[in-house]
């Protein structure tokens, strides 16, 4: 497993979400780093695999029809700055989803992760 870094800036419009592809991750790989708003404004984030991103992107009613619980690698609960320390248990393609609950404010989210 080669160590790599992922650095991205994501412009997030008010009330919307953006997706950052993390790529193929192997079981046992560790994600360390931060996800933060440039002004420390609040936002949400979730890291999910390819199967669960489809579920995540469905509307709530359709997602509730699925009997399986959505599996997330890491998630944030509405702060402006997060430290991530998560281990991949199931190999596959992973995605970081950031979303703004604010209806009038734009967000600039900075992602910096080390994958090893």
Q: Tokens for 14?
A: 């008010």
CATH 2.60.120.380 fits 4-115, yes or no: yes
> Which of helix, strand or coil describes residue 80?
coil
| Domain layout of the chain by residue ranges | 4-115
pLDDT tens digits, residue range 80-100?
789 999 999 999 999 999 888
Q: Note if the pTM is more than 0.85.
A: no
By the 8 A CB rule, do 36 and 76 touch? no
> Which of helix, strand or coil describes residue 77?
coil
Burial 46-85 (b: 16+ CB within 10 A, else e): bbbbeebbeebeeeeeeeeeeeeeeeebbebeeebebebe
Write down the pLDDT at residue 17.
Answer: 83
């Amino acid at each position: 497993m080669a160590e790599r870094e992922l650095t991205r800036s994501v412009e997030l419009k008010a009330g919307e979400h953006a997706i950052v592809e993390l790529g193929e991750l192997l079981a046992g790989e560790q994600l360390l780093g931060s996800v933060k708003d440039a002004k420390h404004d609040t936002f949400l984030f979730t890291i999910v695999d390819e199967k669960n991103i489809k579920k995540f992107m469905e509307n709530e009613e359709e997602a509730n029809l699925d009997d399986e619980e959505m599996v997330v690698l890491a998630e944030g609960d509405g702060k402006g700055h997060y430290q991530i320390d998560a281990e991949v248990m199931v190999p596959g393609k992973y995605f970081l989803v950031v979303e703004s609950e604010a209806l009038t404010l734009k967000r600039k989210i900075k992602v910096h992760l080390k994958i090893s």
